[in-house]
Amino acid sequence: MTLDIRTLELLRESLAHLDAGFAHLPTFDATPNDQEIRSMRGVLKEVAERLRDNYPYAHPFYAGQMLKPPHPVARLAYALAQHVNPNNHALDGGRASSAMEKECVAQLARMVGWTEHLGHLTGGGTIANLEALWVAERTRPGGVIVASAQAHYTHSRMCDVLGLAFEALPTDRHGRLSVSALEERLERGGVGTVVVTLGTTATGSVDPLRDVLRLHGKYSFRTHVDAAYGGYFGLADNLGSDARAAFDVMAEADSIAIDPHKHGLQPYGTGCVLFRDTAVGAYYKHDSPYTYFSSAELHLGEISLECSRPGAAAVALWATQRLLPLERGGKFARGLADCRGAALELFARLEKDSRVRTAFSPELDIVIWAPRAETASATSSRSRAIFEAAARSNLHLAVANLPRGLLESWWPDLTWDREHVTVLRSCLIKAEHRAWLPAIWAVLDPVLNTHTDR
Ligand SMILES: *Cc1c(COP(=O)(O)O)cnc(C)c1O
């Protein structure tokens, strides 16, 4: 089976256990009646039919975008929690799940090296970054937010939402924030916050956080680390030395965004923002007449921009981290190392293949490459043809549009008849990709024969 059906039995068992916790109440049966169940069966069959119209994200042959189903324990814990449907806005809405959120967020903070922190789950990385930039503005009013041109597109959008000035800085030939360009910009003054991306979305490049932090001696600015994608990779034991150096100093950042719904095996709707200085909690103060703060303890709604949030997301993350603790050498860490191992292996195969062009070696688990052709436009159409042909053979890759400036030095013989080139991009985001690489290559190889000049 491509999808996990067997573990559903565990939901039935754990649900019965949860239900027994409410046995003291007067009898009330929440089960729909037979007629309703028959109607639901019809609707759900239709839903299943509709959902077939998706790429097979669960299968190792899906090696395209950053997509995969959550870990079964996350899915089951989420479903279990939905029978209660706690709201982590306030303790009254979700006592247990708020406590679980605080615990698993503290584990994330410990993973980056913080014993103290302020933080909470968010709807995703965009909202986590939004909060970090909102706090950044409060600590350094009027400061410009800078990030590399390869930073996530939502930074400039969220700066727009917040009414902050945003500037994109050039990258080096590895797709990392250029430290010399940053220093030049800092020299000119007015920068409030530097966004450092550990794992860019397009190429998985890791900005040189250590070098950025070194500039603190000379300039004053706030550092926000956007590790929505790459945040967990510090646990892996097979990073290159530059990436290792960056992950090793994450604790020196002022704020960090990590998406458990990217590499943390969670369903969508689970991001996380962390602040090093707990005092920033004061910026969130509000006095809502609707909020029913019944206890003196911290309600998560007091330290987040969003109001209602799914307690189920916290329960799922808690369960996942309970099963797979965030420790170096553990099973979760080995899974990340396998993802990177798969990327390195794919890169090694492509690098020695005369049919294709490669650029920089993957720093995390994203590989970009392109079929050999004379011009940028011919490369782009061949990339799309390979994407489509591979899909017809059930192998799903992705394409990315990258700027000339990033690839020019790697591909000196390419004629740039346009300023961007479409390349192939694979996020090897599933640990299984490592064992499946030979099978993936067996599909890709004949596709390349057909769509390149040999
Ligand atoms: C995915 C991503 C985001 C946006 O996160 P969402 O969870 O999609 O809102 C931000 N930054 C980086 C580096 C990302 O990879």
- The residues, any chain, with a CB within 8 Å of residue 84's CB and separated by 6 or more, are 18, 94, 311
Note the pLDDT of residue 293. Answer: 47
Note the pLDDT of residue 273. Answer: 98
Note the pLDDT of residue 90. Answer: 84
Q: Which of 67, 130, 152 to mutate to test the pocket of ligand 1 (most atoms within 8 A of CB)?
A: 152
pTM reported for the whole predicted model: 0.96
In angstroms, what is the span from residue 20 Cα to ligand 1's centroid? Answer: 40
Residues of the chain falling short of pLDDT 50: 292-294
Asked whether the beta carbons of 202 and 402 are under 8 A apart, the reply is: yes
From the alpha carbon of 151, which atom of ligand 1 is closest?
13
Q: Which of 148, 156, 197, 201 to mutate to test the pocket of ligand 1 (most atoms within 8 A of CB)?
A: 201
* Beta carbon of 259 within 6 Å of any ligand 1 atom: yes
Strand partners, 197: 226
- The residues, any chain, with a CB within 8 Å of residue 52's CB and separated by 6 or more, are none
From the alpha carbon of 259, which atom of ligand 1 is closest?
7
* Beta carbon of 124 within 6 Å of any ligand 1 atom: yes
In angstroms, what is the span from residue 152 Cα to ligand 1's centroid? Answer: 6
How far apart are the C-alpha atoms of 61 and 187, rounded to whole Å? 48
In angstroms, what is the span from residue 201 Cα to ligand 1's centroid? Answer: 7
Instruction: Kindly report the protein residue whose alpha carbon is nearest to atom 6 of ligand 1.
Output: 125
Instruction: Kindly report the protein residue whose alpha carbon is nearest to atom 5 of ligand 1.
Output: 125
Task: Read off the tokens for 262.
Answer: 């990217």
In angstroms, what is the span from residue 249 Cα to ligand 1's centroid? Answer: 21
In angstroms, what is the span from residue 269 Cα to ligand 1's centroid? Answer: 11
Instruction: Kindly report the protein residue whose alpha carbon is nearest to atom 3 of ligand 1.
Output: 125
* Beta carbon of 126 within 6 Å of any ligand 1 atom: yes
* Beta carbon of 152 within 6 Å of any ligand 1 atom: yes
Tens digits of residue pLDDT in 70-82: 999 999 999 999 9
Note the pLDDT of residue 402. Answer: 97
* Beta carbon of 365 within 6 Å of any ligand 1 atom: no
∠ Cα 263 198 107 (to 5°)? 55
> Domain limits of the chain?
82-323, 331-451
* Beta carbon of 451 within 6 Å of any ligand 1 atom: no
Fold of 331-451: Aspartate Aminotransferase, domain 1 (3.90.1150)
CATH of 82-323, one of 3.30.420.40, 2.60.40.1180, 3.40.640.10, 3.30.1280.10: 3.40.640.10
Asked whether the beta carbons of 350 and 111 are under 8 A apart, the reply is: no
Q: What is the dihedral of CA 319, 320, 323, 325, to 10 degrees?
A: -120
In angstroms, what is the span from residue 350 Cα to ligand 1's centroid? Answer: 27
In angstroms, what is the span from residue 50 Cα to ligand 1's centroid? Answer: 27
- The residues, any chain, with a CB within 8 Å of residue 247's CB and separated by 6 or more, are 198, 206, 209, 233, 234, 239
* Beta carbon of 201 within 6 Å of any ligand 1 atom: yes
How far apart are the C-alpha atoms of 290 and 442, rounded to whole Å? 59
* Beta carbon of 211 within 6 Å of any ligand 1 atom: no
* Beta carbon of 358 within 6 Å of any ligand 1 atom: no
Task: Read off the tokens for 277.
Answer: 């200085």
* Beta carbon of 226 within 6 Å of any ligand 1 atom: yes
Note the pLDDT of residue 382. Answer: 98
∠ Cα 420 424 425 (to 5°)? 105
